Structure 1
Amino acid sequence: HISLGISRAKAQTTAPKVLSPAGPDGGNEIVTVRLGWDEPVAAAVFRRAGALWIVFDKAKRFDVEKIKEQAKKAVLSLDQVSAPRGTFLRLSTSPGMNPSIRRDGYAWVLDFKKQPMAAQTPIEAKLQRTLASGPRIFLPMVQAGEALPFHDASIGDNLVIVPIIPLSNGINKRHSYPEVRILPTLQGFVIQPRIDDVIVRSTSKGVQIYSSSKLSLSPPDPKAEAKSRIRTLSVMKRIFKSDVWRLARLEGMKEFNQTRQEMMAQIANSRGNAKQNARIVLAQYLFGQNFGYETLGVLRQIQNVNPSIESSAGFRLLRGGSKFLIGRYEEADKDLGHPSLNESDEGQFWRAINQAGRGALVAASGALKATGKIILSYPKRIKIPLGLLIAEAAVRAGDVEFATNYLQMISEDEPTDKEVDQLALVEGKLQQLVGEFDAAVEAWESATEGEHRPSVVQAILRKVDLDLSRKVIKAKKGIEELERIRFSWRGDDIELKILRKLGRLYFEVEDYRNGLRTLRSAASHFGAHPDAPKIAEEMSGAFVDLYLKDVADSMSAVKAIALFEEFKELTPAGEQGNVMIQKLADRLAQVDLLEKAAKLLTLQVEFRLQGEEKARVGARLATIRLLNKQPGLAADAITNSDEKDIPPFLESQRRQLLARSYIDQGL
């Protein structure tokens, strides 16, 4: 359990360092496989002898044919292998296709694409040589599942698989010892005993590996340990020395107005280079206090006096960083991509944080992990929002230890109330990723009591999502919660997520009109969004299900036709749409709504059909007109649907209907 102790009263942390997960990262085409569960389960994912294995610590029979169809571009074959305990899936994948892992509620989701297979959070085996009970190997891991013995028939040896809850925690390199091997994994642990009496035991703190005959463990490598320590002590290459931010860091906002006035007076009273230097000091101070627009104004004055300064790293970083602060990410890219920033860690950091600001969190996470500590010397007015974005990227990438460290750092830096709300939101995401669902809900409930409206809205949306997946609430309650925040935040991805979720929930409770209206609102307001085609496809799919798969049979015929007329633009072209209209017309005719049925078929005859199908539907239209005592219109239906080369039985039927219409007209 990861607890940052974030509350309205105090933002402090008692967070233990826990590891975990992974998610998709742009680039080439992604094929997604979703493995649903109704309860929390631990998982292990690893490759062996060319096969990809997915193992869960609880038993379930999956529809492997459905999964293969779902993943046909990535998965060549899939089998569920029988085992005494747990669930074992063996896959053969296309060359180079490897999964990253994420979780949606209790479901495990694997995103396949061409990428290396490595755990986002590698676990190092700890060798415990001096225990009274004898040497053992310890793999630190909270929420390790049951150790599952397994005979790999394809190779002919025995393994012990330990699935775990935290995401993308695994072993990135093989550990070999005389009596046991620990194999590489994307998720969980795979132990290969080399003697019969190796024991593998899961505990609350991790996995113990030992033997009744005592393991033989080689002594530690002092050189390797020293190199590891040196790597953690690497010095960041900065563009600005740390003391540039000293005044903003020490004062905060307490003396801001006075300090700014003094700096502006210094500019006014200076001449030549001294005036320009005073402007630079003011720009740095404003930037450190998170005043992006004001910083840009001062930088324009500096550039007007000295155009060549635009080629300097400091100017480019301040201007690009200021554009990042005000959300102009594409403009910021132009400055932060300048060659003058290439050789500095600080330049690399700002490029990565701007990438994260654009939404490419997973892609930016590696660079942020390498350079993120650059912000430790920054004033907290920029350090806290930057740290929050770093933590968000770490969560999305599955590096929970990294995320926890940054959230801990932020929570100890006296965040404002609104920043506490944002902390609580990210903490909830972190808890969800490591499987602590109750703690996630608790964090989000704390955020909903706050003042930062985007965090309040997102916390409610995430809580509803999680509660629905855990079956804590029903769809109607979810609708109530989301309708409450529907108009609280407008115009960005948050609103789009709310509308899409609402639309699906309305479908779930069979309120198809509100479901389609909600999705139509999303499609119209977010027409330029990359997901707009998916929303349109979702609406069309729901509409087709209503009238082609008989879902609309649950509503009255009057409501069915009213709904059809409101959303008739969703009627698919071609045969599928024709069948849909005819089925609806038949249903209307069965309940004596003959005029409405006739109008539907008239549109088909006039605008949608050709050939034999037009003649057949014209005959059906004529029948309905006769039943509705409209013989003249029945004759028109036959005349207007006259086609050549139709089957004799249909020709005979049409003649009979035409004759009947003449008789009824007294002709």
Structure 2
Amino acid sequence: MPARTSPLKREVDRARDLLGQIHHPVAKPLSFGAAMKTTAALVAMASFGLAGLAVGDTTPIDSAAPRSAIDIRVGRNAKSGRVEIYGSVGSRASVRRDKDLVVIRLPGQQKPDLGDIRANLPVGVTGVDLRSDARASEIVLKVAEGYDARFGRSDGAVYVQFDADSKPDAKTIGVNLQDLMKPAEKAGESASSQAANQANISKAANVPVVALQVEAIDGGKDIAFAFEGPVAAAVFRRGDSVWVVFDSEVDLRLPPELKDGMTVQDAQWTRNDGFTALRMKAPGVALVTAAGDGLTWRVRLGGRSLATRSSEVIVTRDDTAGAGSLSVTMAGATRIAWIRDPGVGDRMAVITARAPIKSLSAGRNMIEASLASTAQGVVVTQMTPDVKVELAGDLVHIWRPGGLTLSAVSAIAEPKDGGLEYRAARYPSLINAEWSETPSEGFLARYNALQARAADETQQGATAPSKARLAMARFLIGQGMTFEALGLLDMLVRQNPNALVDPQVRGLRVAAKMMSGRYRDAAGDLSAPQMLVDPSARLWQGYADYMAGNYADAVRAFKAGAKAMDAFPPQWRATLGAAYAYSAMQEKDMDMAQVMIRYAVSQDVPPLDKLAAYLVNAQIIEASGDKARALNVYRAVAKASDDAISTPARVRAAMLAFELKQAKPEETLATLDSLRFRWRGDKTEMEIVGNMGQIYLSMGHYREAMQVLRTGGQQFANSPEGLKISNALNQTFRALFLGGQADGLQPVEALGLFYDFQELTPQGADGDEMVRKLVRRLVDVDLLDQASALLEHQVNERLDGVAKSAVAADLAAIYLMDRNPQKALQTLWNTRTTLLPKSIMAERRVLEARALTELNEPDKALDVLGSDASADADDVRADIYWRQQSWAKAGAVLERRLGERYKAEGPLAAGDEGRLIRAGIAYSLMKDTAGLKRLSERWGKFIDTASSPDALRVALAPLDGGDVSAKDFASAATATDTFTGWVGGMKKRFRDKDNATGKKPAAPAAKTA
């Protein structure tokens, strides 16, 4: 069937166009043995690549010139008609008037496509003819009586205007449907000028206004069109666009929420010739449904189907006139709108119908035209120029003068017995190429005959033979009806469990399950003893392991079944060979990978299957180190029409461009993000997630990286790739909060990030260290409430024994810093335990004494300290004695804490300076002249370098100093804040603990899939 008539064939031809530009040395399909033996296979791989490729439907239509050369556009209304000719040839046309004829002469030998203008003549024209000679072609337009023709050049085009009264009509000189449905091509024409022109036309014509109402509902987008009177409509999808056409001219008002960039990426509308058409670009929408009550039409993009009463359009063959034609029965059909699709470039005949809904669920493809599936109405596409579409009441006739090429009418005949017999396959799970061939007597005849035999066999009971049912199952598998085949085989096994002993039964079950994508379900049959000696089953096992990401097992299985590979049909040889090549690449066996990919791409298979193999080829090229060439291959394969092939190619092309510094991180993220929501649920999405996480991490956007990685890890939790993503997420969390990467964040920001992903906190010492590091940062900036909340969770929920007591000491210290001694005391008492290390016991004892001191329990505090002579204990004792005004004890303890620091040089630390001031004041208050003199002699040299020299000078002044007033003495007594000094010391202690035990784990692996 010619390429332009079948969507599937057209897509195949697009893929073939790509492959035709791939230079490779393979002249014919290789056998597996040849691929393995030739040493030239590895050398030949160097020439695999794609360069300068462009994707598009390049099939010529009746040798007509391309639109870029001769582009004919027609505008029409009730009074006027207009023909405009653009293009490299069309813009050089000349026009002359010859009585009632207008002749447009086009230089050169390229012929224009007159299909549109012949099918729907402009107003003022009664006939169109084409004549040509060796130098030019001429379009001859016959002018209708009562009309005048004028012509000229405007905006880079040649035009001919047909007017009834020689006065231009506002509607005629406006943009026509073809113009508005594509970017402006006229020189100097802008979108704004178009909009202004359309507004003027609307005002002149006084057409009604329809404001669209857009609502998100049921996972989709509802669009409502409310009209003043009954209007007929057609709703259908073509390519990545959704069309809504009405048989009335109105002004549409598109709200901003229509084009949300997700469901609807773009929207354009126009009205002309009694119709209004809206085209919405919605590539991600899988389902389009419509509903109408006569006045209001609703269109839903995506989500659940609109619940509405509907009927199916009836398509029948009509040979009453002696030539093949089709009749489409559609109640309420009103008019035919002739529209040129700017996305494809061909013309469509859109037939509108009134409510209720009339749809065509399955399209029809012919050589000369196609009926597209619709949600409402009928649309005829891919027409050759001589196809006619006519409307007569509720009947739409589609015909051509020579008749449409339709399938021959044949009676359902009983096939010969030879076509029904079951013969054992060479290998039990092997698929033979002839299974997919259409039987000579037709599918239905073969199906009915096989079904009858299978039913007769089933009636014989558990001891019946299985040949007829196996023949039926094999036929179903060959025709792609794998689930039906599985149902038949399951019924056979239920009736006769011993049938599973037959390798042929097992083999057909394996083939059916693998072809239907039920790889895990096939595991039981593949591990059966009968299958272990079947080389074709080993190939299936290798493919199942490849799909599961178990590449080492896949390589072993592929190697075990290699001798059966040439027995498979070419399409499966290409698929299995590419899977073998990819698995070998993952196991670093590049020699085998290159041999197998050469074998795969050499098979005589449909172009899309070959492009799938070239996608693996690009990955092997990349793994071999030639990233620039791999990028070229990815970019070419990315233009394939099948999203399953183009999407992974686009992902890898984006990442390679980013790696090679050809794309910025933001550009790459935008590409990946759009693909992430376009292609869901398999390894490609996992690769997208992993790559986005990698780029976000490289930019320092930790929250975005962790969010996208968490989403991927949760969605694919049970797959190897999902485990890699989860591992990357955990490594990122560890690097942030254990390795110090979060130190660059503001403490509050780091805390928020920690809380949002706290479920990733590891158990044990590493998790405790994470919390401690974060607590230290919070304490440094006096976020004590937040720090204590973190440690409370550790103490109450995560820790036991010694670790719990140690962390409780830190928590008590934070409570004391926050002037909450009661909570500090309660925390210490609630976490008491025996056999603690001495250092932890001493720390807890000092904290308990300090808390009791703050609660005005000095005697209990001294009892807790006991005989502890440590520096920390002496600091608490000094505070207690100072508060009790026991100046002799306070002075002695403070001087003991100072030790022999006076023998060293340099300024005093803040703590020592405070102790010296307090000691001097204590000796002064108790009139201890000797002690005061001793302090002055030892420590007087530090006055000039002190932070509070006046206070220190007053504290060390002799009792008979004379010039030291009581006010000076009081100021010196209050110059030292022991609590502030203690807080500063505790913050330093937290930092010292962090530096003493901190670990720096390796940064997370960037690439996760």
Structure 2 partner of 1:11: 19
SS of residue paired to 1:329: coil
Task: Give the counterpart of 1:624 among 798, 817, 825.
Answer: 817
SS in 2 for 1:435: coil
The alignment status of 1:326 with 2:519, answered yes or no, reads no
TM-score (structure 1 length as normaliser): 0.55
Q: How does 1:257-656 map to 2 (within 5 A)?
A: 259-267=442-450, 280-299=470-489, 310-336=500-526, 346=536, 349-350=539-540, 352-359=542-549, 360-375=553-568, 378=569, 385-386=575-576, 388-390=578-580, 392-393=582-583, 396=586, 397-398=589-590, 399-410=592-603, 412-415=604-607, 417=608, 419-473=609-663, 475-530=665-720, 535-607=725-797, 608=799, 610-611=801-802, 613-614=806-807, 616-626=809-819, 630=820, 632-634=822-824, 636-637=826-827, 640=830, 646=840, 648=842, 651-656=845-850
Deviation of 1:406 (Å): 3.0
Deviation per CA, 1:425-467: give whole Å up to 9, x if none.
2231232244332232222223333343333332233334434
* CA separation of 1:493 and 1:616: change in aligned 2, threshold 3 A: same
Partners of 1:648 and 1:280 in 2: CA distance: 83
Deviation at 1:320, TM superposition (A): 1.8
CA-CA distance at 1:321 after TM superposition = 1.0
Give 1:400 shift: 4.2
Give the counterpart letter for 2:442 in structure 1. Answer: T
Distance 1:429 1:633 in 2: 62
The 8 Å contact of residues 638 and 647 in structure 2, kept in 1 or not, is answered as: yes
Q: CA deviation at 1:325?
A: 0.7
Counterparts in 2 of 1:553 and 1:345: CA distance versus 1, 3 Å: closer
Show CA shifts across 1:261-283 (max 9, x none): 01023346769789976655443
Contact persistence 1:361–1:392 (CA under 8 A): no
Which residue, 236, 248, 258 being the options, matches 2:436? 248
State the partner residue of 1:205.
Answer: none
Letter in 2 for 1:432: E
- C-alpha change, 1:597 and 1:502, in structure 2 (3 Å) is same
Amino acid at match of 2:640: G
AA in 2 matched with 1:403: M
In structure 1, the residue matched to 2:853 is: 659
Q: How many angstroms apart in 2 are the aligned matches of 1:481 and 1:501?
A: 11
SS in 2 for 1:490: coil
Separation in structure 2 between the aligned mates of residue 245 and residue 330 of structure 1, nearest angstrom: 25
Q: In the TM superposition, what whole-angstrom CA distance separates every residue of 1:139-171 from its partner, at most 9, and x where no partner exists?
A: 985899xxxxxxxxxxxxxxxxxxxxxxxxxxx
Q: Is the 8 A contact 2:813 2:824 kept in 1?
A: no
Structure 1 window deviating more from structure 2 (522-531 vs 553-562): it is 522-531
Quick check: 1:6–1:423 contact (8 Å CA) kept in 2? no
Count of matched residue pairs? 442
1:382, distance to aligned residue in structure 2 (A) = 5.2
SS of the residue aligned with 2:622?
A: helix
What residue is the counterpart of 1:185 in the other structure? none
Task: Give the deviation of 1:568 after TM superposition.
Answer: 2.3
User: Could you tell which deviates more after superposition, 551-560 or 295-304?
Assistant: 295-304
Alpha-carbon distance change, 358 to 519 in structure 1, aligned in 2, over 3 angstroms: closer
Structure 1 residue 616: deviation in Å?
A: 3.3
- The one-letter code of the counterpart of 2:854 is R
The 5 Å alignment of 1:34-433 reads 238-239=426-427, 245-246=433-434, 248-249=436-437, 251=438, 259-267=442-450, 280-299=470-489, 310-336=500-526, 346=536, 349-350=539-540, 352-359=542-549, 360-375=553-568, 378=569, 385-386=575-576, 388-390=578-580, 392-393=582-583, 396=586, 397-398=589-590, 399-410=592-603, 412-415=604-607, 417=608, 419-433=609-623
The 1:661–1:572 alpha-carbon spacing in structure 2 relative to 1, beyond 3 Å, is farther
Cα offset, 1:10, TM superposition: 4.1
| Matched letter for residue 810 of structure 2 | V
For 1:586 and 1:602, the matched residues in 2 are separated by: 15
Shift of the 638–387 alpha-carbon distance from structure 1 to 2, 3 Å rule, reads closer
1:241 is displaced (CA, Å) by 13
Distance 1:610 1:304 in 2: 60
One-letter code aligned to 1:616: A
Q: Call closer, same or farther: CA 1:289–1:548 in 2, change over 3 Å.
A: same
C-alpha separation in 2, matches of 1:241 and 1:524:
36
Q: Which runs of 5+ in 2 are unaligned?
A: 1-12, 28-34, 47-424, 459-464, 858-878, 885-1009
Structure 1 residues 507, 425: CA separation in 2 closer, same or farther (over 3 Å shift)? same
What is the TM-score when the length of structure 2 is the normalising length? 0.38
Using CA pairs under 8 Å that are at least 6 residues apart, name the structure with larger relative contact order, 1 or 2: 1
Taking a change above 3 Å as real, the CA distance of residues 374 and 433 of structure 1, as seen in their structure-2 partners, is: farther
**1:374 positional shift:** 1.0
> Which letter maps to 2:555?
V
Paired with 2:16 and 2:763, the residues of 1 have a C-alpha distance of: 55
Write 1 or 2 for the structure with the bigger share of helix: 1
Residues 485 and 636 (structure 1 numbering): CA distance in 2 closer, same or farther, change over 3 Å?
Answer: same
Q: Secondary structure at the residue paired with 1:552? A: helix
Q: CA deviation at 1:617?
A: 0.9
Q: SS state of the match for residue 9, structure 1?
A: helix
User: Which 10-residue stretch deviates more, 488-497 or 339-348?
Assistant: 339-348
1:642 positional shift: 5.8
The one-letter amino acid of 1:514's match is E
Q: Distance in 2 between matches of 1:284 and 1:345?
A: 19
Given the superposition, is the C-alpha separation of residues 618 and 662 from structure 1 closer, same or farther in structure 2, using an over 3 Å criterion?
Answer: farther
Change (3 A) 1:306 1:601: closer
Cα RMSD, aligned residues only? 4.5
Q: Which amino acid aligns with 1:620?
A: A
8 Å Cα contact 1:421/1:456 also seen in 2: no
For the pair shown, the structure with the greater C-alpha radius of gyration is 2
* Identity rate, percent: 24
Cα deviations by residue, 1:384-415 (Å, 9 ceiling, x for unpaired): 545544554565553245324333333x4333
The answer to whether the Cα contact below 8 Å between 1:602 and 1:621 also exists between their aligned partners in 2 is: no
CA distance in 1, matches of 2:429, 2:555: 29
